[in-house]
Amino acid sequence: MGIFDVMGPIMIGPSSSHTAGAAKLGRMARLLFQREIEEVDIYFHGSFADTYQGHGTDRAVIGGLLGYLPDDVRIRNSLENAEELGLKFKFHTVNLRNVHPNTLMIELKSKDNSLSVTGSSVGGGSIVITRIDNTKVRMIGQLPTLWILHKDRPGEVGIITSVLGNYRLNIAYMQVLRNKKGDQGSCIIELDHKPNKYLINYLENMDDIKQVRYLPPL
C-alpha cells in the first residue's frame, strides 16, 4: 500500500468492494475470455447477492465486461450500453460454498466457446480470481499476468520459463495447474514487467501451447 491507495483510487462509487472490485472482476473475465461475448450469466453470492442493485454491482460487472476501468463514468450506464451492443446478460443469486462473502461467478459464452470465471472482491477494491472453469487458481491482477494453456508433458513448463528468461522477464509468482495427468496443463505467471507482443506471439506459436492470455495489471 502506498499513499495513492490511501488517497485514492479514483473510482466510480459507491463502494470500493462492491463497485470498483466488481468492475475489476468483470474486466478480468473479459481478458481471460478474449472473445466476443455474446451472452453472459452473472451469479452473485453472499453480500453481493443481497445488495448488488443498491451498490451498482450489476452495472460495475457489466462495465468491466465491456472493458471499462473502475474509474470510467460509463459504468453508470453499462446495462444500457450492453443492450445497445447486443450483449445478452442475466443476473442470478446463488449460494456458492466456502467462499468469501463478496463473490461472483461469471459465465461467458460466444458462438462456439464458453468460460466460467469465479472471483471475490476482498476489500479496498482488491480482487482475487479463484476459479477458471473447473480449475482452482489464484490471480490478483496486480502484476502483469500470463495465463497459458499447454499440453501437459515433461519439461513444458521449463520451456515456457526459459522463453520468458530469453525475453528478460522476471517471474514474480507462478502456479502450475492441470486437470488430469497427461491431459492439458495450464500455468499462471505473474511478471515483474510487462511482456511485449512479440513474446506473446512467440508463445502462441509454440507447438504445445494451446492458448495464451495476457492480463495487464489493474
Partner 1 sequence: MEYNSIQELLELALAEETTIAEIVLKVEAEESELSEADVKARMLENLKVMQKSIKAGREKKIESAGGLVGEEAAKMSDYIAGRPGLLYLQAVTDALAVAEVNAGMGKIVAGPTAGSSGIVPAVVVATGEQLGKSDEEMMMSLFTASGLGYVVSRKATLAGAAGGCQAECGVGSAMAAGAAVELHGGTPEMVVHAFALALKNLLGLVCDPVAGLVEVPCVKRNGFSASHGLTAAAMALAGIKSVIPPDEVVLAMTEIGDALPASLKETSKGGLAVTPTGEKIACRLRK
Q: Which residues bind partner 1 (CB under 8 A)?
A: 1-16, 19-20, 47, 50-51, 53-56, 59, 71, 73, 75-76, 123-125
Rounded to a whole number of angstroms, the minimum distance from the CB of residue 130 to partner 1 is 19
- Which CB atom, from 42 or from 108, has the smaller least distance to partner 1? 42
Report whether 191 contacts 165 (CB < 8 A): no
Residue with the three cell numbers 502450475: 176
Rounded to a whole number of angstroms, the minimum distance from the CB of residue 75 to partner 1 is 7
First-residue to last-residue Cα distance in the chain: 14
- Which CB atom, from 58 or from 152, has the smaller least distance to partner 1? 58
- Which CB atom, from 99 or from 157, has the smaller least distance to partner 1? 99
Half-sphere exposure of 4 (CA within 13 A, CB side): 3
Rounded to a whole number of angstroms, the minimum distance from the CB of residue 172 to partner 1 is 17
Rounded to a whole number of angstroms, the minimum distance from the CB of residue 150 to partner 1 is 35
- Which CB atom, from 136 or from 194, has the smaller least distance to partner 1? 194
Q: Which residues of 151-177 are buried (b: 16+ CB within 10 A; e: fewer)?
A: ebeeebbebbeeebeebebeeeeeeeb
Strand pairing partners for 69?
none
Residue with the three cell numbers 478474449: 34
Rounded to a whole number of angstroms, the minimum distance from the CB of residue 9 to partner 1 is 6
Give the three-class secondary structure for 45.
strand
- E strand segments, 51-208: 88-94, 102-109, 114-123, 126-132, 135-139, 145-151, 171-178, 184-191
- Which CB atom, from 73 or from 180, has the smaller least distance to partner 1? 73
- Which CB atom, from 33 or from 43, has the smaller least distance to partner 1? 43
Question: What is the grid cell recorded at 103?
Answer: 463473490
Rounded to a whole number of angstroms, the minimum distance from the CB of residue 20 to partner 1 is 7
